[in-house]
Structure 1
Amino acid sequence: MMKILLMVIGSISLGLGMIGVVLPVLPTTPFLLISLACYMRSSRKLYDFVLSNKYLGPYVKDYVDGKGIPIKAKKRAIFLIWITIGFSVLFVIDKIFLRLMLLTIASIVSIYIWTRSTPESKNIADINQQ
């Protein structure tokens, strides 16, 4: 029963991650990581599918391999967090407590993302020396 539940949660998360590939407001990587975590415990076949997929794999491969989050992905995620939270704080939420709570959450998540390791990019000089 638990495997089925994990597969359902993983599939929903995978669907949201796939939507996030084309919708810039919806984050892709967190949903794909959730789906991988669920699939790791329920279906090796689905886990391998996500990692080997040419469209989805690049979003999570470096993180899963322990290399970290690419700087471009960090910048994009933080930018989108602040755009969506900023819009909510300015135009949707009117209570000061909720505004402060959202800004605090955005700050903590941004710091968390920024402090994750970043894969080293190889420049041409490094490649030529090898």
Structure 2
Amino acid sequence: MRVVWILSGGIALALGLAGIVLPLLPTTPFVLLAAFCFARSSPRLHGWLLGHRTFGPIIRNWAEHRAIPRAAKRVSILAMLAALGLSLALGLRWEVLAVQAVVLVVMGTFILTRPDGPAGSA
């Protein structure tokens, strides 16, 4: 079972890293999923992820406060708007745009309603 958790964590982390450059693929949920998987399989990988300069503070902020830093919220919302704008520019069918808009509004609402976390957090 340990191998399944490690593989799942690795896949989640890879998807999170891809999400940095792909507008429709979110980064933070996949990094959080990777931390969850690594916590159940590899203290070394979990510790590495928690100590990571970029991802560590986000993971700790979520684990301790169920919070998303304000800067991460801004980037997420801007990425969602850019993805919707790209879809409009590409002239996708209205049905696709409608589904995309609903999903983005739901996810945007979830993100914006999370607390920012303690002052000075990442």
Give the TM-score of the pair, scaled to structure 1. Answer: 0.77
Distance 1:99 1:50, change over 3 A: same
Query: Which structure's relative contact order is higher, taking Cα pairs within 8 Å and 6+ residues apart?
Result: 2
Residue 117 of structure 1 aligns to which amino acid in structure 2? P
Match of 1:98 in 2: 96
Match of 1:110 in 2: 108
Match of 2:47 in 1: 48
Partners of 1:27 and 1:61 in 2: how far apart?
A: 18
Give the C-alpha shift of residue 48 in structure 1: 1.4
Match of 1:125 in 2: none
**Alignment check: 8 A CA contact 1:28 1:59 kept:** no
Match of 1:16 in 2: 15
Partners of 1:43 and 1:92 in 2: how far apart?
A: 45
Give the TM-score of the pair, scaled to structure 2. Answer: 0.81
**Alignment check: 8 A CA contact 1:36 1:47 kept:** yes
Residue 111 of structure 1 aligns to which amino acid in structure 2? T
Partner-residue secondary structure (3-state), 1:42: coil
Give the C-alpha shift of residue 89 in structure 1: 3.9
Unaligned runs of 5+ in 2: none
Q: Is residue 36 from structure 1 mapped to residue 35 from structure 2 by the alignment?
A: yes
**Alignment check: 8 A CA contact 2:68 2:116 kept:** yes
Q: Is residue 83 from structure 1 mapped to residue 105 from structure 2 by the alignment?
A: no
Which aligned runs of 4 or more in structure 1 are off by greater than 6 angstroms? none
Partners of 2:74 and 2:61 in 1: how far apart?
A: 16
Partners of 1:99 and 1:19 in 2: how far apart?
A: 23
Distance 1:92 1:61, change over 3 A: farther
CA RMSD of aligned residues (A): 2.2
Aligned residues: 119
**Aligned-residue identity in percent:** 27
**Alignment check: 8 A CA contact 2:58 2:69 kept:** no
Greater radius of gyration (CA): 1
